[in-house]
A and B are shown apart, each in its own frame.
Chain A
Amino acid sequence: MKEFDKYVKDGLYSYKSPVPEGLWERIVAEKDKKKPIPIPFWKNGYFQASILALVTIALTSSSYFFFRKENTTSINNTTKEVVILTNNITGNTKESNFKIESAETNKSNPLSIVSTKKAKNNVINIETNSKPLSVVNHSISNTIEVVSVSKDDVVKDSSTQHLNAISSVVLNKEVNKSEETVSPTADEHYFEKGNIINRFNSELANGLVSKTLKGSKKTITTIHLTDRPTRNWYLEVYGSPDYDTKQVSANSLNANYLHLLDSTQKLVGGFTFGIRVSKNISQHLSIKSGLQFKEVTQQFKFTQQNVTKSITVITNTGTNSFIETGYQQRTVYNNYKSIEVPVIVSWEMRNSKKWHFSTDGGAILNLTSFYHGMTFDPSLNSVPLSAKQTYGMFRSNVNFSVYGGFSIQRNIDKNFDAFVEPYLRYSLSDNNISSIGYNQRFNSLGLNLGIRYKISHSGNKAK
């Protein structure tokens, strides 16, 4: 048997048959007609990934500078005087020395600082001769900007946004004996019961206690400082309608196979939903991870050959049965389903008490993928769409995508935010095996709509 096979192979593998005349001319004519269509540069994967990266970077940086500039402008408009205090912490001691680093004076309504006194446990009292002070920014480096504010100034969103950003100011509930004689003034009522208290988050807003001394125009503003940044945990539940695109390229021989797939299959939509946990790792930076489900739906219209139908004909002479063989036009909706783990880093910019903005970037790791429907195999037969049944045409667990998005959050309750997050995910690996002649991957443009719940808050404890 082997001898026979060897004999045939040796004889025929390199056997040359005469080539008909004029075939080369026909090939040349056909070749010029069927020149390969160059892939447009905007469909190139590297180009798309670069654009995604550039857009994310541009969005992040522009948003940062935009909001930063807006705040600065706003503060300047409302500021009578700006005092920057630096908290120098030495070693492990909690001793803090505050000093005036710079000052900016508006001559029309000067604010003179009478004294800055350091009390116990990082408490600082700032005595001024006019209106109460509001802390507008505190970074991890313990630099504090203190701005004198008027009633009208404080209620502006730009100021409240800054006050929200204070991560280390807590309420000094203990009143010194010297302050017992202090009676609330209109300003104090304003700070304690007015707009600020109502508009700000819990202890963050309460970190500022201002007293106007009785019979005096002087105001003492007391703030508490801690060195730890905020550590908040959030739980996010979200869902997104997705606009999916299919990126297909032939990798070897099957251009016609690819053309057939392209002409019979069309993506008609998809969705994603999931749950993830978010944790602040610094004032602006947070990391998110969880579990999500994604489904891409594809319409597959094809002609199924050799469909048989039994026909029974009843006549006067009896009953005859016939088997009719033909073809059938079928429309099948294929489902590509994935269970994934998103790992996302978010840079948050807080513009106001109510509205937060952040840019997100990261990766989506595929845990497993499974399929339902039908497709053509390389020999152009319609076969079930399954990782197991279609000769392993599809991968079951190796999808990896990059993710970029922009999130807009609105505070709707003390612990709840609603958010909208347009995003783009770009797949870096194919969902089919390359040996079938083409590479296929799905990219998505989506709009996450979700709710964020504040699970816990650690770092700054109210004293």
Chain B
Amino acid sequence: MSIVKHLYLLSEHELIKGCIEQNPQTQRLLFEQFAGVFMSVCIRYAIDSMEAEDMLQEGFVRIFNHLHQFKHEGSFEGWMRRIVVNVCLKNIQKRKIHFKELEIENSNEPQVSPYIYGNLCEDDLMRLISQLPDGYRTVFNLNVIEGYSHEEIAVLLGIEASTSRSQLVKARRMLQNQIVQLEKIAV
């Protein structure tokens, strides 16, 4: 336990160095620091928790194997996160997502009062996102949460940028509808 406490005092540079040198304790520390965040990333892309676990496992293996390529340019967490997202996308590609154009009954964007947000916890949001269709969910995650542009998403997913835009609009609308419905039920 004392070792772990000591390791928590390591700087990011020392953490990276230790992992490159294959120090098991440092690698374990890195895992413990970031596994929770990356697990939630994987859950948002995966269809179930089993797939999310596999994604996270592969993501960490890749991080450890390619850590020597990190050039200390930009955020270290961002670099690792991109690896994890790429692993998720690779798994999604295996599932061969079709970006379907779903018909939504209410085509107007619902007005969501800001106060509703306060009633939603992160778990609710995670659950609502996981209920989105694969294509919507992937584009929504990449654009809204990870911050990729539609052009970048187009390259990553092999689709047109316009498809990405329309998927996002529909994902957002569907999500907001679900939030409104959830609020109605709560009331």
Contact = CB atoms under 8 A, between A and B. Distances in A.
Interface of A: 1, 3-5, 7-9, 11-20, 23-24, 26-28, 30-31, 34-36, 250-256, 305-306, 377-381, 383, 391
Contacts of A9: 144-145, 147
B90 interface: yes
Interface of B: 24, 28, 31, 35-37, 39-40, 43-44, 49, 53, 56-58, 60-62, 64-66, 69, 82-83, 86, 89-90, 93, 96, 109, 112, 114, 117, 120, 122, 125-126, 129, 144-145, 147, 154-158, 172, 175-176
Contact of B57 (A3, A5, A30, A250): A30
Given A16-B39, A27-B31, A378-B155, A8 B144 contact: yes
A317 B10 CA distance: 79
Contact of B145 (A13, A23, A250): A13
A415 to B, nearest CB: 56
A12 B125 contact: yes
Contacts, number: 110
A380 B65 contact: no
A379 B89 contact: yes
Contact of A8 (B58, B86, B125): B125
Contacts of B56: 19, 23
Nearest to B118: A7
B90 A380 contact: yes
Contacts of B120: 11
Contacts of B158: 377, 379-381, 383
A17 B66 contact: no
Contacts of B43: 17
B36 A17 contact: yes
A12 B122 contact: yes
5 nearest A-B pairs in the assembled complex, by CB-CB distance:
A16-B36, A381-B158, A17-B40, A379-B158, A17-B39
A250 B69 CA distance: 10
A251 B69 contact: yes
A3 B114 contact: yes
Contacts of B61: 27, 30-31, 34
B86 A24 contact: no
Nearest to B94: A380
B125 A253 contact: no
A379 B157 contact: yes
